């Protein structure tokens, strides 16, 4: 079952799953990205995001908050699930908590981390970069 | 170091039940007298070299009143020894042995009392240290929680301002957009006035929060118009995220009423209620204005619908006369 919100914008652009537990921020980011040409599906927690992904919604990139106390899994749990079950999906993470920049910091293995408060333009650039990377098939090793 | 030694001994003795501690005290005192007898020490040596250290030892090791038990028993045994040694009878005992026994009794009771007082202070210090450690851990959790919220709210503020700047085409529009953004930001700011720590979670006393929010709305939005905003909220603690959601709802609904329900500067009243209702809750924002009912598909309404969905609640509009918006949840679900 898709979560109780799972609002989807009408744009025909790349599909972004937005996972953010702050309702005001979620609505604002969703509106901004829709106006920037992305087709946004927004949900309030990682459980709902998993429902959307398991239901087979067309998604190109997942943009998720890391720290979401609500629900059974948080943003990190969602990123782990995606790596395991949908490795073709690109993930961008957002966090308000100080992030360790060392390569051993686990969330960095799943995608870039945007520090809150993040810049709209930076978010958009990261999304386009992820979509471009996804569209470019990896070169076969010789 | 000394405190650690005392604490270590106390931990050892604490493993015994009360009766075990007293029995062990009696056994140690008797053993001490037996050793004294076998070694052939004099009563003075017995009392100073063996009994006093044993009384201190029992006081620290077995706690409670073990020191007094050891002291009492030692006095009795010393008196008995003295009586036995006074071959010429009770008079000789009273003259030659009783004074040192009495001095010993006083000294041993003082030692037992001091040891008990010392242990009491050690306990108090331990409790204080534990409560400081717990307060420190609580503070760290609260700081982490507040830090996370501040960053989330700053992200919202940044996006709100960016949105306002994108939406304006005229000075009037700019004024309205930034005014609306400012009231939403004020809701986020108000949260920090009422933040409390409850266990490891931050909570908000919703009564103070709603009252303060309504005062703020009246001061900043009503702009001197003859419109009263009355708040009536139950005295309950809510999780911070839920309080923010309720605050944003109240802000949007009151702003709607201020914008549409009282045209031509007519006076009126807006009532804001937050009440427990069975296993759920009920928020009512009611006005006695012209009865405009449900508003169109503006961004404010999208925000209201999103919050209502996140809260697992439902919303309904009633009126005229006036407009009453009811947001109800039958269970405590959604944002906590």
pLDDT in tens, B301-326: 889 999 999 898 999 999 788 899 99
Q: What is the pLDDT of residue A62?
A: 96
Could you give the CA distance from residue B122 to residue B324 in angstroms, rounded to a whole number? Answer: 62
Least Cα distance to B179 among B189, B191, B193, B164 occurs for B164
Structure-token match 């809260």, residue found: B311
Question: What is the rounded average pLDDT for all residues in chain B?
Answer: 84
Q: Which residues contact B116 (CB under 8 A, 6 or more apart)?
A: B59, B63, B65, B67
**B2 to chain A nearest CA, in Å?**
42
Rounded average pLDDT over B54-68: 84
Could you tell me which residues come within 8 angstroms of residue B78 by beta carbon, excluding any fewer than 6 positions away? B43, B46, B47, B51, B101, B104
**pLDDT at residue A122, as a whole number:** 92
Of B241, B232, B315, B314, the residue nearest B269 (C-alpha): B232
Residue A114: helix, strand or coil by DSSP? strand
Is the Cβ–Cβ distance between B248 and B207 less than 8 Å? Answer: no
Report d(CA B55, CA B43) in Å as an integer: 16
pLDDT of res. A142 = 42
Is the confidence metric ipTM above 0.85 for this complex? no
Residue (of B232, B234, B243, B233) closest to B198 by Cα position? B243
User: At residue B294, does pLDDT exceed 50?
Assistant: yes
Do A96 and B152 make contact, defined as CB atoms within 8 angstroms? yes
CB contacts, 8 Å: A97 with chain B: 144, 147-148, 151
**CA A109 to chain centroid:** 14
pLDDT at B336: 61
Q: What is the rounded distance in angstroms from the CA atom of residue A15 to the CA atom of residue B224?
A: 47
Encoded tokens for B243 = 């309080």
The two tokens of residue B77 are 């045994």
Per-residue pLDDT averaged across B127-147, rounded?
A: 85
Query: Which of B147, B166, B184 lies closest to A96 in CB terms?
Result: B147
Name every chain B residue with its beta carbon within 8 A of the beta carbon of A67.
Answer: 148
Tokens describing residue A108: 């960095």
CB-based contact (8 Å) between B248 and chain A? yes
Average pLDDT over residues B238-251: 90
pLDDT for position A67? 85
Q: Does A31 touch chain B (CB under 8 A)?
A: yes
Cβ-based contacts of A21 with chain B (< 8 Å): 241, 335
| Average pLDDT value for residue range B103-122 | 88
pLDDT of the residue at B319? 79
Q: Which residue of B has its CA nearest to A115?
A: B151
Taking CA–CA distances from A29, the nearest residue in chain B reads B159
Note whether A31 contacts B299, CB cutoff 8 Å. Answer: yes
Contact state of A5 with B162 under an 8 Å Cβ cutoff: no
* Per-residue model confidence (pLDDT) at position B64: 77
What's the CA gap between A11 and A40, in Å, rounded? 8
Q: What is the pLDDT of residue B232?
A: 94
Tell me what pLDDT residue B139 has: 80
How many residues in total does chain A contain?
A: 142
- Does the pTM surpass 0.90? The reply is no
Q: Do B184 and A4 touch (CB under 8 A)?
A: no
Closest residue in A to B306 (Cα) is A23
**Residue B177 neighbours by CB under 8 Å, 6+ apart:** B163, B164, B167, B168
pLDDT of the residue at B314: 93
Q: What is the mean pLDDT of residues B186-190?
A: 84
Tokens of B248: 């944003």
Nearest Cα residue to B143 out of A116, A74, A87, A98: A98
Q: What share of chain B is helix, strand, coil (3-state, %, to 5)?
A: 65, 15, 20
pLDDT score, position B167: 75
Relative to beta strand A113-115, strand A90-95 is parallel
Contact: A23, B245; criterion CB under 8 Å = yes
Per-residue pLDDT of chain A (142 residues; tens, 9 = 90+): 344 445 666 667 899 999 998 889 999 999 999 999 999 999 999 999 999 999 988 899 999 999 887 778 899 999 999 999 999 999 999 988 766 666 667 777 888 999 888 888 899 999 999 998 876 655 544 4
The owner of tokens 């972004």 is A16
Helix, strand, or coil (residue B307): helix
- In terms of Cβ atoms closer than 10 Å to its own Cβ (0-12, 13-18, 19+), residue B139 is exposed
Position A100 scores a pLDDT of 62
| Better-predicted residue by pLDDT, B100 or A35 | A35
Label residue B9 exposed, middle or buried (CB < 10 Å: 0-12, 13-18, 19+): middle
């Amino acid at each position: 079952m898709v979560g109780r919100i799972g609002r989807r914008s009408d744009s025909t652009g790349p599909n972004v799953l937005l996972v953010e537990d702050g309702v005001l921020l979620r609505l604002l980011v969703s509106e901004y990205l829709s106006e920037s040409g992305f087709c946004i599906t927004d949900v309030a927690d990682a459980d709902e995001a998993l429902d959307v992904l398991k239901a087979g919604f067309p998604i190109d990139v997942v943009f998720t908050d890391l720290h979401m106390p609500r629900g059974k899994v948080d943003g990190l749990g969602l990123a782990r699930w995606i790596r395991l079950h949908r490795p073709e999906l690109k993930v961008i993470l957002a966090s308000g908590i100080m992030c360790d920049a060392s390569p051993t910091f686990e969330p960095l293995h799943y995608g870039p981390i945007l520090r809150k408060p993040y810049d709209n333009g930076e978010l958009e650039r990261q999304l386009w970069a992820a979509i471009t990377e996804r569209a470019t098939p990896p070169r076969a090793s010789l | 170091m000394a405190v650690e030694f005392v604490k270590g001994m106390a931990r050892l003795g604490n493993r015994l039940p009360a009766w075990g501690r007293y029995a062990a005290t009696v056994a140690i005192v008797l053993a001490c007298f037996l050793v004294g007898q076998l070694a052939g020490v004099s009563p003075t040596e017995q009392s100073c070299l063996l009994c006093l250290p044993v009384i201190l030892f029992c006081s620290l090791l077995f706690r409670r009143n073990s020191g007094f038990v050891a002291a009492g028993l030692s006095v009795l045994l010393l008196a008995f020894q003295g009586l036995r040694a006074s071959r010429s009878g009770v008079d000789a005992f009273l003259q030659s042995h009783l004074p040192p026994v009495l001095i010993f009794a006083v000294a041993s009771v003082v030692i037992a009392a001091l040891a008990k007082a010392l242990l009491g202070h050690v306990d108090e210090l331990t409790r204080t240290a534990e409560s400081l450690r717990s307060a420190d851990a609580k503070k760290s959790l609260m700081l982490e929680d507040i830090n996370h919220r501040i960053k989330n709210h700053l992200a919202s503020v940044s996006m709100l301002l960016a949105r306002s700047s994108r939406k304006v085409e005229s000075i009037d529009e700019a004024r309205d957009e930034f005014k609306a953004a400012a009231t939403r930001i004020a809701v986020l700011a108000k949260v920090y006035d009422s933040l409390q720590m409850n266990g490891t979670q931050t909570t908000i006393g919703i009564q103070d929060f709603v009252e303060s929010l309504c005062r703020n709305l009246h001061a900043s939005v009503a702009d001197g118009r003859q419109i009263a905003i009355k708040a009536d909220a139950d005295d309950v603690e809510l999780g911070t995220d839920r309080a923010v959601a309720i605050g944003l709802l109240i802000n949007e609904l009151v702003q709607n009423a201020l914008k549409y329900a009282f045209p031509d500067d007519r006076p009126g009243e807006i009532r804001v209620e937050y009440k427990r209702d069975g296993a759920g809750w009920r928020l009512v924002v009611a006005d006695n204005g012209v009865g405009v009912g449900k508003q169109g598909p503006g961004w404010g309404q999208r925000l209201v619908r999103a919050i209502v969905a996140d809260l697992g609640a439902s919303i309904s509009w009633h009126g005229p006369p006036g407009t009453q918006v009811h947001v109800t949840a039958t269970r405590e679900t959604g944002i906590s």
